[in-house]
Each structure stands twice: as structure tokens, then as C-alpha cells.
Amino acid sequence: MEPVLHRVRHKVFSSLHRIGLLSRRSHSGFAEPVAEPASSHSRQMKPPLLVSRLYQPSNLRDMGPDSRMQGELTCKSQRLMQQAGLIHPFNPGCFYYLPATVRAMEKLVRVIDQEMQQIGGQKLDMPSLCSADLWQISQRWDLMGKELFRLKDRHGVNYCLGPTHEEAVTHLVAHQTALSYKQLPLLLYQITRKFRDEPKPRFGLLRGREFYMKDMYSFDVSEEAAYETYESVCHAYTRIFARLGLRCVQVQADTGNIGGKLSHEFQLPADIGEDRLLVCRSCSFSANVETMLSDRTDCPQCKTGTLSESKGIEVGHTFYLGKKYSDMFNAVFSNAQNKQSVAEMGCYGLGVTRILAAAIEVMSTDESIRWPGLLAPYQVCVLPPKKGSKADEATGLAEDFVHTLGQTVPHLRGEIVFDDRTQMTIGKRLKDASRLGYPYVVVVGQGALEDTPRFEVICQQTDETMFLSKEDLFCLLGKVEIV
Ligand SMILES: [Zn+2]
């Protein structure tokens, strides 16, 4: 390091020490975070995340008898998420997303971004505050009725908080005067907060009034091209659910107030689901009951199979819109003959917060959260022995283990938490770790002190417990996929 700069840094650090901003070593023995510039050295020595410091309050739900503040615990995912300090009710259908939830959401957003960009999607961000003018052109200002959150600005002009953005995006594309057929298909998407004045918000993040959604809109040169785009988005959705380990079914659906010619829902079968599905036992046919005569029991596709009913949570929806919105807003492009032509459109939604809650709903036990592996807020939790126990000597080994793991498997840095609550028994902390659903829990106890040190690892996704050498354990954890 250049000497003058070094002296400056030294001076800054001394001052920080004096005013108490640089902390002493914590009771766990790890130095706590300091305001040191990132260098490869400081990254290696970065202290682990201490469980005692994570803001994941599990006691927030005892806020007295006010059920509005408690949020009625109407389903398993809501109960588990509130108990684990993942979400907290604010007002009906609105929740605080606490830090671990935000981490899981950010991972889910990365998975969605990867798959949307894989098929040519370009991410943008549109205003939530939408002018009533556009919604009056599409007539949805009246059609949406009470579901639309409406407000007036200081000049008395009407707005709504956007639940979806067909009007806004078509308005945007219509303003591009020189859109050429060579630029199509154009796939624009965003992942933003959406608002819907649900008559009965319930089931935690499954049916809220404020939630995150991914909405994509496609513009194509022809009906044929639009169908191809539609197919590619459906395939991308299938890949997303496969990567998350969710067994979703793609069912034919009603086009509802969005309008259009063709529509599918992606449904995650679950008892708590509010949609009724008819699934053929012999072929791939499945449909939402709303789209069919509900007493029908013979399959319209293979003719021989029988349909059986199941419940599902709608986590995605696709619509082939045709020219409904592009005609209204005059979204045109110049075709190969250099003539103006109206674009063919599609729109495609994914309920981001809903996918998170739905995954917890179907994967968890009554007591313990289980995440899709890719989305777990933290991948590894390391448990040192209880203070004053027989294995107390292994505490240093546990600290060393965390440092070496971060060095050996760099992509796990930031994914490892250290349960420093050593006043608690291993058993109690294991129970917490199981409840929160870390995919890998490593216990550094008596076994780590033996001649051939062994570390206990519990793979919570598969419910397996193994005793491994440090090398084998690093090898196992090195295979963990981080998004
Ligand atoms: Zn069939």
C-alpha cells in the first residue's frame, strides 16, 4: 500500500476506535464488522453472520388481542412465516417483509430475471401511479370496479395504483414512432409492487392487497409469431418452477377482464388453493373448473380419460391478447413492406410473493419451514457447542470451520450463519434451525475433537444426517447451488 494513504487509513481507524465505531471482539470470539475497505484480505477475514444479530424477531406476533394487528393466521405458510420472523402483519393484506424474506425474494427475482432474459426479455420499471385516462380508454376503469385502488391528486385528477400494466406499456410502445419489424418480438417486463383492493385479503402473502408481481408484455409482427412467443414464455415458466422444485400444472383458463383469445394458468396443487382444477388421469389435459362445465367427468382431449378435481394456488398466468390493447392505443410498427401494422400482444404474470408463500405452504411440515433450495435465505447454519459443556473446547474449531469454509467455497460467503447463542443447548438451537429451514445445519461438537475429527451435518431438505470429515463436508457444501 502507498505509505501516505496507509497513514490516512490508520488515522481514520484510530478515530473510529476513539468514538467507539469499531467494536471489540464479540462474546463469540469473532471480531465484529468494521468499516474497512474491501480487499481480498478483509473479505477472507469477514466475520460470519451471527444468529444473535439477525433481525428475525419471532416474538413480534404477541401483540395483544387486536386481531387486525395479529393478522388472522389463516393458513400454514402465514403461521410459519409469522412465527419465524419472516413477515409481520401491518394492515389487512399488507405485510412487512423482514430481512430473511427479502433475501429469499431477491433470489427468486434473480431466477426469474435469468429465465426472462434467456428468452429475450428486457427489464424496465413502470410507475405504480397510473393515470385514469389510460384506464378509461380500455374501459377497465369501470370494469375493475372496487378491486382498483383509486386516488385523486391535488388537482382533482384521478389515478389508480396499478394492479397490472397493459395500458401503460402499450401507451409507451405506441409512442415509439419508428418501431421496425426487425425489433420484434419485443418483450418488456418488470418486477414491481402491485395493488389490488381484495374484498377478503387472507392466507398471508397468498392473497394480499399489496404484493410483488412479475409482469411481461410481448409485441409481435403476426399472430403466428405471437403464438411462438407465447410458447417460449410458457416454457420459461416451466423451467422456473422446475428449478424451484415446484410441481406446477399448466391449465387452460378463462381470459377474464384482461381479455384476449388464449390463456393458461400455472397452478400449484395445494389443499389451501382457491382454484378448482380438473385434471385428466390419462393424458396431460387440465383446466380450471371456471372454463368448463363443472359436472363434466370425461376428458375433452383424449375422450377416454376421466377428470378428477383438485385444488390449486395460481402462481402464474399467461394471456394471448391479440390486438385488443394495441388497436386501442395504436401500437404500430413498420412491416417489411414499410407499411404501418398493429402489433400482436401477449401478457404474462408471475406472483412473486405468492410463489414464495406457496412454496412454503406445500414444502413445509406443520412445525418447520422448508424452502426451495435455491431460495433459502441462508444455506448453512453452523452450531458451536454450548458454553460450559463437555464439548466447549470445540468452540474454536467451529469458528475456524466457518472461516475456512468461506475461503474454500467462496460462493458460500454471505450464505453462512453462525448460531452464537451458546447459552442455549445444541438441541434447542437445532430445533430453531429446523423451524427456520436452513438447508444445511453443521454441528461442531464432541466429534470435532476426536483424533479423526467428524462434523455432523443435517441436510434438512432430504432429512438426512451424516458425520463427515472436514474435507468431505467442504466437498458436499461446494456443490450447493447459489443463485
Ligand atoms: Zn385426457
Determine the average pLDDT of the residues in 97-122.
98
Three-state DSSP state, 29? coil
pLDDT in tens, 452-477: 999 999 999 999 999 999 999 999 99
**What's the 93 CA to ligand 1 centre distance in angstroms?**
38
User: For residue 275, what pLDDT is reported?
Assistant: 87
State the DSSP H helix or E strand holding residue 134, giving kind and residue range, or none if neither. Answer: helix 132-137
Q: Beta strand pairing status for 416-418 and 49-50? A: parallel
Produce one character per residue of 293-303: b if its CB has 16 or more CB atoms within 10 Å, e if not. Answer: eeeeeebeeee
Neighbours of 462 (CB within 10 A): 8
Pair 393, 455: CB distance under 8 Å: no
pLDDT in tens, 234-270: 999 999 999 999 989 999 887 766 666 789 999 998 8
Produce one character per residue of 101-110: b if its CB has 16 or more CB atoms within 10 Å, e if not. Answer: bebbbebbbe
378-478 to CATH, choices 2.160.10.10, 3.40.718.10, 3.40.50.800, 3.40.50.9100: 3.40.50.800
User: For residue 341, what pLDDT is reported?
Assistant: 97
User: For residue 281, what pLDDT is reported?
Assistant: 81
Which residue intervals of 245-369 are DSSP H helices? 324-329, 352-363
Higher pLDDT, 162 or 282: 162
**What's the 289 CA to ligand 1 centre distance in angstroms?**
15
**What's the 238 CA to ligand 1 centre distance in angstroms?**
20
Q: Which of 53, 55, 95 is nearest to 72 (CA)?
A: 95
pLDDT in tens, 294-309: 677 888 888 888 888 8
On the question of pLDDT at 11 being above 50, the answer is no
**What's the 262 CA to ligand 1 centre distance in angstroms?**
20
**What's the 227 CA to ligand 1 centre distance in angstroms?**
23
- Taking the C-alpha atoms of 142, 145, 147 and 148 in order, what is their torsion angle to the nearest 10 degrees? 30
Residues 6+ apart with CB under 8 A from 175: none
On the question of pLDDT at 66 being above 60, the answer is no
CATH superfamily of 102-363: Bira Bifunctional Protein; Domain 2 (3.30.930.10)
**What's the 231 CA to ligand 1 centre distance in angstroms?**
21
**What's the 298 CA to ligand 1 centre distance in angstroms?**
8
Single pTM value for the model: 0.87
Burial group, residue 123, by CB count within 10 angstroms (0-12, 13-18, 19+) = middle
Determine the average pLDDT of the residues in 156-166.
97
pLDDT in tens, 176-232: 888 999 999 999 999 999 999 999 888 999 999 999 999 999 999 999 999 999 999
DSSP 46: P
**What's the 241 CA to ligand 1 centre distance in angstroms?**
23
Determine the average pLDDT of the residues in 424-434.
95
**What's the 286 CA to ligand 1 centre distance in angstroms?**
8
**What's the 274 CA to ligand 1 centre distance in angstroms?**
23
**What's the 314 CA to ligand 1 centre distance in angstroms?**
21
380-383: strand order across its sheet: 49-50, 416-418, 380-383, 440-443, 455-459, 464-468
**What's the 285 CA to ligand 1 centre distance in angstroms?**
5
Domain residue extents for the chain: 1-39, 102-363, 378-478
User: For residue 74, what pLDDT is reported?
Assistant: 80
Pair 204, 87: CB distance under 8 Å: yes
pLDDT in tens, 309-331: 889 999 999 999 999 999 999 99
**What's the 296 CA to ligand 1 centre distance in angstroms?**
12
**What's the 320 CA to ligand 1 centre distance in angstroms?**
24
- The domains spanning 102-363 and 378-478 adopt the same CATH topology: no
**What's the 82 CA to ligand 1 centre distance in angstroms?**
41
**What's the 284 CA to ligand 1 centre distance in angstroms?**
6
Distance (Å, whole) CA 81 – CA 268: 19
Strand partners, 87: 97
Distance (Å, whole) CA 387 – CA 423: 6
Q: Classify the C-alpha dihedral 73-78-82-83 as positive or negative.
A: positive
Determine the average pLDDT of the residues in 92-111.
97
